Structure 1
Amino acid sequence: MNWNIFKRKPKAERKKKSKTREWVDAIVFAVIAATIIRGLLFSAYAIPSGSMEGTQLVGDYLFVSKISYGPRIANTPLAIPFTEPKVFGIKTYLSFLQLPYWRLPGTSEVKKGDIVVFNKPDEADLEHSIPVDERTSLIKRCQATPGDTLTIVNTQVFINGKAAPNAPNQQTSYLVTTNGIPINPQIMTDFSMETISIKDSNTFEMIIPKEHLAELKSYSNIKSIITYIRSAKDPDPEVFPHDAKFKWNEDNFGPLIMPKRGWTIPLNDSTMTLYRRAIEVYENNKVAVNGKDFYINGKKADTYTFKMNYYWMMGDNRHNSLDCRFWGYVPEDHIVGKAMMTFFSTDSTKGLFSGKIRWNRIFKPIN
């Protein structure tokens, strides 16, 4: 047998790659490596809105760990890598091939208090027709995990009957009453204040960071500043589950039990109001009601057993956050990863040489 066929050719006899081939090989390797890193290890995320203000600021750029909760395998494998779901209104993915939900093992479970990046649940409706992994990414703090009972009383979150720890820099809104002299716009900017609504000519609902409250109260044109809490007697139809039987609002809510994989519930008017969306939309069942009878996929049913775990996410900027209070719990297949570190941050209201880059937030751990 001629064993020489298994020997590598001498270096001098090997065909040298062209410069073009070397560049192509390098680009292919870089794309494959970056795809693996971004898909399985971590990705970058930019804070788009003020819902986490106080903790995370608009203009923060984060590292999001996908291995913390287990990398989620893409539902839409036919997509242009490193792009948003739409570029100039054109989809960057093909939806005719969609894989079922599957997640690799992670280093931990989602815990209460974690800051989590996830896909927007209300884009699961048929009118959007968007695959799970191509839905808008959001970031909020996890307040409740599967099996927990969540209640909100006068803005305080309670989990299983115990008050949940508040985020160190959690923000809310205040009713600010002036003597008729308006607040200096520069103070609004310097204090990172925001007007949410105008109650009358001299009273405003405002988001005010806690560290500026005392100074603002000292100004001569400020008559009073009181914490704004919506009364439990003032239900909000925009709040989940959007039903008059549940007289809840963003400050007084629940109790609501988070669905847990394997949890079986009886089917009745109340449970269907609270959990029909999970059964029908997130777990892909056909639900029908005929009088007092309930049908799941064409079969009469008295109970339902959940297939997935569900979580409750809320923004730290409580009165300026569109979150689970408005569209309900987050299913596990929408979880992207855990926010770990702010690696860069910019302030769009400032110039390049007047504080645009927030140096004190670069490589800052997230908690």
Structure 2
Amino acid sequence: MKWKLNFKKNTPVTEKPKKTKTREWVDAIVFAVVVSTVIRGLLFSAYAIPSGSMEGTQLTGDYLFVSKISYGSRMPNTPLSIPFTEPTLYGVKTYWDAIKLPYFRLPGFGTIKNRDIVVFNKPDEADLQYNLPVDERTCLIKRCIGIPGDVLTIVNTQVYINGKPAPNAEKQQTSYTVVTDGKDINPQLLTDLHIEIRQQLAPDTYEMIVPTANVTTLKSYSNIKSITPVIAQAGMYDAEIFPHNPKFKWNLDNFGPLTLPKRGMTIPLNDSTLTLYRRAIEVYENNKVAVNGKDILINGKKADTYTFKMNYYWMMGDNRHDSLDSRFWGYVPEDHVIGKAVLTFFSTDSTQNIFNKIRWNRILRPIN
């Protein structure tokens, strides 16, 4: 060990031994993991579009940057987990849920607004059979259609917020019944117009998902006899649609009115409100709800009203007839919100060959 003299104090000082190459690499890797974990956990994360629920706004194969600071970074419920992994790997948990922290969110640059494209955890995985902490649930991406306190109604596919028609997304699409003259439709035409055949109903009749902007073009072809929007009739009960109760005869295209819960909002408790809001009260806000005759009990005490502790949002896909969204599992609680989709940084098309696989026109494309 080398010694050198400290002339100011006339005392010997030892020199620190130099780090080995291995130690330098280990330190660099640990530093990189810590920094990337902080960035991914608090600032931004990447997200890949897994399905067609947001077509044609966001395409399957798009890779996005999600801003967590736009709405405030959410602190993890399970802080002890393996970074950059799924909740389970080969059937083994990648997190330790012995330590669970309560919901907490840092201040952000703003709040969720109508028409924002939001990434969030899947609400129906709050059910007991999944047994997953909030931050370990599946990530979804949809457009926010309603914010806390909004009254949401859908009439023949058109969304109304507080009685006014909500602007439709520029590239929103839905399904149509298309009748032909019996001649085959050119597959290249369908590809060029971004049309998907959902099913063939008869030899000359198809259900197709057609971008709104391309309906007129499709009608112009001589072998197309008619194009009719597919709309579920008002008053037709669909058991798959929230709140999954025949008292509310709602369906995919005709729904509501439904008031979205807002933090601090108080509602009377009765058969109807309990049907609409029991999931929020019981599952998301962790209360024990019971019905004893005409009495409603919350945590063992009779209650005539309930005041919400969180804000709730309504999320829907732009591909209206091919999206599993709030119409099926209800509102999204604020503690499930991850962040705002802000940028498509890369995009690939799995249906194309290796030379045409990359969608160059979507790289570094802002999301709105």
Instruction: Give TM-score scaled by structure 1 length.
Output: 0.95
- Structure 1 residue aligned with 2:205: 203
Alpha-carbon distance change, 4 to 84 in structure 1, aligned in 2, over 3 angstroms? farther
Cα offset, 1:346, TM superposition = 0.5
- Structure 1 residue aligned with 2:104: 102
1:31-56 per-position Cα deviation (integer Å, ceiling 9, x unaligned):
01001100000100000000000110
Question: Whole-Å Cα distance in 2 between the matches of residues 236 and 89 of structure 1?
Answer: 35
Question: Whole-Å Cα distance in 2 between the matches of residues 155 and 253 of structure 1?
Answer: 9
Q: What does 1:180-199 correspond to in 2, within 5 Å?
A: 180-199=182-201
Which deviates more from structure 2 when the two are superposed, residues 172-181 or residues 150-159?
Answer: 172-181
Question: Whole-Å Cα distance in 1 between the matches of residues 245 and 81 of structure 2?
Answer: 39
Cα offset, 1:83, TM superposition = 1.0
Q: What SS does structure 2 have at the residue aligned with 1:96?
A: coil
Question: Whole-Å Cα distance in 1 between the matches of residues 215 and 291 of structure 2?
Answer: 52
Q: What SS does structure 1 have at the residue aligned with 2:173?
A: coil
- Kindly indicate whether residue 243 of structure 2 is the aligned counterpart of residue 244 of structure 1: no
Question: Whole-Å Cα distance in 2 between the matches of residues 325 and 82 of structure 1?
Answer: 31
- Structure 1 residue aligned with 2:3: none
Alpha-carbon distance change, 290 to 200 in structure 1, aligned in 2, over 3 angstroms? farther
Cα offset, 1:193, TM superposition = 1.7
Alpha-carbon distance change, 16 to 221 in structure 1, aligned in 2, over 3 angstroms? same
1:151-185 per-position Cα deviation (integer Å, ceiling 9, x unaligned):
11111111111111111111111110112233233
1:99-133 per-position Cα deviation (integer Å, ceiling 9, x unaligned):
11111111100111100000000000011101100
Choose which of 331, 334, 349 in structure 1 pairs with 2:333: 331
Q: What does 1:120-131 correspond to in 2, within 5 Å?
A: 120-131=122-133
- Structure 2 residue aligned with 1:61: 63
| Aligned CA-pair RMSD | 1.8
Question: Whole-Å Cα distance in 1 between the matches of residues 359 and 329 of structure 2?
Answer: 33
Cα offset, 1:86, TM superposition = 2.1
Choose which of 136, 139, 145 in structure 2 pairs with 1:134: 136
Q: What SS does structure 2 have at the residue aligned with 1:342?
A: strand
Alpha-carbon distance change, 3 to 162 in structure 1, aligned in 2, over 3 angstroms? farther
- Structure 2 residue aligned with 1:363: 364
Cα offset, 1:8, TM superposition = 11
Retained in 1: the 8 A contact 2:179–2:205?
yes
1:123-149 per-position Cα deviation (integer Å, ceiling 9, x unaligned):
000111011000000000001111110
Cα offset, 1:225, TM superposition = 1.1
- Structure 2 residue aligned with 1:302: 304
Q: What does 1:13-24 correspond to in 2, within 5 Å?
A: 13-24=15-26
Alpha-carbon distance change, 301 to 185 in structure 1, aligned in 2, over 3 angstroms? same
Question: Whole-Å Cα distance in 2 between the matches of residues 329 and 3 of structure 1?
Answer: 71
Retained in 1: the 8 A contact 2:197–2:208?
yes
Count of residues in correspondence between the two structures: 362
- Structure 2 residue aligned with 1:46: 48
Q: What amino acid does structure 2 have at the position aligned with 1:365?
A: P
Q: What does 1:206-221 correspond to in 2, within 5 Å?
A: 206-221=208-223
- Structure 2 residue aligned with 1:321: 323
Q: What amino acid does structure 1 have at the position aligned with 2:209?
A: I
- Structure 2 residue aligned with 1:72: 74
* Structure 1 unmatched runs, 5+: none
Q: What SS does structure 2 have at the residue aligned with 1:318?
A: coil
Q: What SS does structure 2 have at the residue aligned with 1:94?
A: coil
Retained in 1: the 8 A contact 2:241–2:327?
yes
1:231-282 per-position Cα deviation (integer Å, ceiling 9, x unaligned):
1132211110001010111111000000011111111000000000000000
Alpha-carbon distance change, 48 to 219 in structure 1, aligned in 2, over 3 angstroms? same
Alpha-carbon distance change, 15 to 289 in structure 1, aligned in 2, over 3 angstroms? same
Choose which of 244, 252, 255 in structure 2 pairs with 1:253: 255
Alpha-carbon distance change, 95 to 342 in structure 1, aligned in 2, over 3 angstroms? same
- Structure 2 residue aligned with 1:352: 354
1:275-307 per-position Cα deviation (integer Å, ceiling 9, x unaligned):
000000000111100111110011111111111
Question: Whole-Å Cα distance in 2 between the matches of residues 294 and 3 of structure 1?
Answer: 82
Question: Whole-Å Cα distance in 2 between the matches of residues 222 and 199 of structure 1?
Answer: 15
Percent same amino acid at aligned positions?
71
Question: Whole-Å Cα distance in 1 between the matches of residues 113 and 326 of structure 2?
Answer: 16
Q: What SS does structure 2 have at the residue aligned with 1:52?
A: coil
Q: What amino acid does structure 2 have at the position aligned with 1:347?
A: D
Q: What amino acid does structure 2 have at the position aligned with 1:76?
A: T
Question: Whole-Å Cα distance in 2 between the matches of residues 35 and 363 of structure 1?
Answer: 23
Question: Whole-Å Cα distance in 2 between the matches of residues 87 and 210 of structure 1?
Answer: 41
Alpha-carbon distance change, 268 to 198 in structure 1, aligned in 2, over 3 angstroms? farther
Q: What amino acid does structure 2 have at the position aligned with 1:43?
A: S
Cα offset, 1:216, TM superposition = 2.4
Q: What amino acid does structure 2 have at the position aligned with 1:80?
A: I
Q: What amino acid does structure 1 have at the position aligned with 2:89?
A: V
Cα offset, 1:88, TM superposition = 2.9
Question: Whole-Å Cα distance in 1 between the matches of residues 366 and 63 of structure 2?
Answer: 12
Retained in 1: the 8 A contact 2:171–2:213?
no
Cα offset, 1:189, TM superposition = 3.1
